[in-house]
A and B are shown apart, each in its own frame.
Chain A
Amino acid sequence: MRLIAFLTFTAAAVFGTAAQAQVNVKIGVLNDMSSLYADISGPGSVTAAKMAVEDFNPAAHGMKVEIVSADHQNKPDVGSNIARQWFDVDHVDVIVDVPTSSVALAVSDVAREKNKVFLISGAASSDLTGPKCTPNNVHWTYDTWMLANGTGKALVKTGGDTWFFLTSDYAFGHALEHDAAAVVTANGGKVLGEVLHPLNTQDFSSFLLQAQASKAKIIGLANAGGDTINAIKQGAEFGITAGGQQFAGLLVFVTDVNALGLKTAQGLVLTETWYWDMNDANRAWTKRWQAENAGKLPSMVVAGVYAETLHYLKAVATLKSAPDGKAVVNQMKALPTEDPLFGKGYIRADGRKIHPAYLFQVKKPEESKYPGDDYILRATIPAEEAFRPLKDGNCPMVTN
């Protein structure tokens, strides 16, 4: 018995020193691999994480990085179970991506409890850096406040001062509408009405007629994915845009625009923080990404996964240790961020990554010269104005 104890002790000592020489990191990409949000994140996010590891070159920093991935099926219970198993059994150090706000909120609790790192790209709720902020979270790409602020403000300022909302009837939709309505009224606009529709609605014609009857200049779509696509597609049919009303997509990805086709989507105004065709660096990155995702376009979510993974690895390299999640996130906040996709920026005390946002308009079919040539840049919202001010977030870490 004593002999075994001795052997175990020596083995631990030997391997312990070996582990100190080489820092091992395990990254878990958790998202929707097979349903509604698989095109904005899914396998494409895994590719992006792999590219970040490749560009970081772990061997040069004395590190070894491994990537695992899983499908959370947009169910909070499935997501938090996978997170627990990854942290407890599989020694995963960091979970990245996690679209669908309800799942992200569940995973955030687990990461905090286990003191690991949670890098959010796919989820939208601004609560993740607000009332629900934790010292283990970094929220990278976008959030509901930034979307509402970008699109809402720009439209009110260019004359779209009366609004009617089509809102998806669950936490995300309500948050988005609430944030957007606040921006509209703050800038002198007026909200004329709203209609709450169930998630995954096939037919929007009834709701569109109500929106049409309201005579509002702007119809704000506080929904996402298939709901947004169906609403816009049927809106074109009912002559909404032809009648002088305009759609404002509060959460539209480049993949949604592709699904609609430019003929239907033209003129739509939307906000994103990253677009594949904006500069040479983005185009070069997209070309590499497409080598594994032929025929698809990278969304801002996968770009965010790349950038946050890269920055995380830099922080771990400086710290020379990965297991203490809080320490790594603090290091990430201390280091200024710099990557080819989002440029220079920083991470705020509440975990919010700060970078500019862009107001785009969807091109007319005749303006588009090649597949994926979808947007015209209408305005750049500077980094300092793009996200909710730190003091307004009610993040307990900041107020206390």
Chain B
Amino acid sequence: MFEIFGVPSQALFGQLLLGLINGSFYALLSLGLAVIFGMLNIINFTHGAQYMMGAFAAFLLLRHAGIGYWLALLIVPVIVGATGVVIERLFLKRIQKLDHLYGLILTFGLALIIEGLFRNYYGSSGQPYGVPESLQGGRNLGFMFLPNYRAWVIAFSLLVCLCTWFAIERTRLGSYLRAATENPALVRAFGINVPRMVTLTYGFGVGLAGLAGVMAAPIYNVSPQMGSDIIIVVFAVVVIGGMGSIMGAIVTGFTLGIVEGLTKVFFPEASNTVIFVIMIIVLLVRPAGLFGRSA
């Protein structure tokens, strides 16, 4: 065993792996944001609240319907995505032609309302949700104890991220989407229903937030403010990666998770701020973000 900067290598490898796990949540959430911003040009501040709704939906399904984690993983993104569709149809559609700021303020207000409603009904201290039976326990990797559930989180979110990237960047459907962002009028002329596509894309992005919520429920406290705790960090991730860049969001999410993990070893007090320091540097050097195309 050797030491790096006075930290045993075992501890260091452990932290790298943990960083990767946290990075998977950042990646999943920023991916949803990037999809929504890239395709709809909406800065979706409701994302944190929708992530929280995902966790709560999993909890409620378990308590009232006896539906466990695995089914929730399928059902919840659909439910949360459907609420997204409703929001798009009722509100976002009407402000599509206005400045970004209107969307930002609208979604921020919605986030506050949703959070307030949940707090009113379920209180602020949180609800219990356990790790599914089949993923309990863990294995000793020699340098750290890796809980099975964390291993699952990392693998599954990587899979979801890559599938999403593939769907948008490499399939025909994805090319329609991208074309519709560039020139909606022309795409409509080809007989494609652009408004419906936009609605479904928003629903999909929101569904991703719901999915992240279900995955977070067994390890984080399921409370109404869980979304607002994480959303600011996720926005920083998106800004660093470049607004609207799918691959940027994924890569930056995982990378920043690792950076944050390392900070927790060397200087734990700064672990909450390190991402914002990086964000400032990136904005100074590359205002469009690491993977962004400058307009």
Contact = CB atoms under 8 A, between A and B. Distances in A.
Tell me whether A and B are bound partners: yes
Interface of A: 34-40, 42, 169, 195-198, 200-203, 205-207, 209-210, 212-213, 225-226, 229-230, 233-234, 237-239, 253, 255-256, 258-261, 263-264, 296
A264 B269 contact: no
A225 B225 contact: no
Given A206-B18, A209-B15, A233 B124 contact: no
Given A196-B268, A202-B230, A206-B15, A34 B119 contact: yes
Given A201-B272, A259-B128, 6 more contacts: A202-B230, A226-B126, A233-B220, A237-B131, A237-B218, A261-B129
In the complex, the 3 A-B pairs of residues with the closest C-beta atoms, listed nearest first = A261-B128, A206-B264, A259-B126
A231 B287 CA distance: 37
Contacts of B86: none
B144 interface: yes
B14 interface: yes
Interface string B116-155: 1001000111111111000001100000110101100000
B21 interface: yes
A205 B21 contact: yes
B3 interface: no
A210 B221 contact: no
B271 interface: yes
Nearest to B137: A239
A40 B219 contact: no
Contacts of B21: 205
Nearest to B270: A198
Given A36-B225, A200-B229, A209-B11, A239 B138 contact: yes
B11 A212 contact: no
B276 to A, nearest CB: 12
Contacts of A238: 138, 145, 147
Interface in B191-237: 218-221, 223, 225-226, 229-230
Contact of B125 (A198, A201, A225, A263): A225
B22 interface: yes
Given A34-B116, A225-B125, A261-B130, A196 B269 contact: yes
A106 B231 CA distance: 30
B191 to A, nearest CB: 46
A49 to B, nearest CB: 19
A202 B261 contact: no
B265 interface: yes
Given A202-B230, A205-B18, A197 B271 contact: yes
Interface string B177-201: 0000000000000000000000000
Contacts of B116: 34
Q: Which has the most chain B C-beta neighbours within 10 Å: A39, A205, A263? A: A205
B124 A206 contact: no
B140 to A, nearest CB: 9
B269 A169 contact: yes
Contacts of A213: 11
B22 A203 contact: yes
A202 B128 contact: no
A263 B15 contact: no
Contacts of B126: 226, 229, 259
B113 to A, nearest CB: 13
11 contacts: A39-B123, A39-B124, A169-B269, A196-B268, A203-B18, A206-B265, A212-B145, A239-B145, A256-B125, A260-B128, A261-B129
A38 B119 contact: yes
A213 B271 CA distance: 20
Contacts of B22: 202-203, 205
A263 B133 CA distance: 13
B221 A226 contact: yes
Nearest to B119: A34
A198 B219 contact: no
Q: Which has the most chain A C-beta neighbours within 10 Å: B116, B123, B269, B271? A: B123
A333 B131 CA distance: 51
Contacts of B261: 206
A35 B220 contact: no
A132 to B, nearest CB: 25
Nearest to A259: B126
Contacts of A260: 128
Nearest to A262: B128
Given A169-B269, A259-B223, A209 B125 contact: no
Nearest to A166: B268
Nearest to B216: A202
A260 B126 CA distance: 8
A198 B272 contact: yes
Contacts of A200: 229, 272
B152 to A, nearest CB: 12
B28 to A, nearest CB: 14
B151 to A, nearest CB: 12
Nearest to B10: A213
Nearest to A225: B125
Contacts of B14: 209
Contact of A229 (B123, B221, B271): B221
A253 B147 CA distance: 28
Interface string B267-295: 01101110000000000000000000000
Nearest to A265: B128
A37 B124 contact: yes
Nearest to A169: B269
A228 to B, nearest CB: 9
B123 to A, nearest CB: 5
Contacts of A206: 15, 18, 261, 264-265, 268, 271
Given A203-B22, A263-B130, A36 B219 contact: no
Contact of B221 (A196, A197, A233): A233
Nearest to A295: B123
A34 B221 contact: no
A159 B230 CA distance: 39
Contacts of B124: 34-39, 42
A207 B264 contact: yes
A268 to B, nearest CB: 14
A368 to B, nearest CB: 13
A258 B129 CA distance: 11
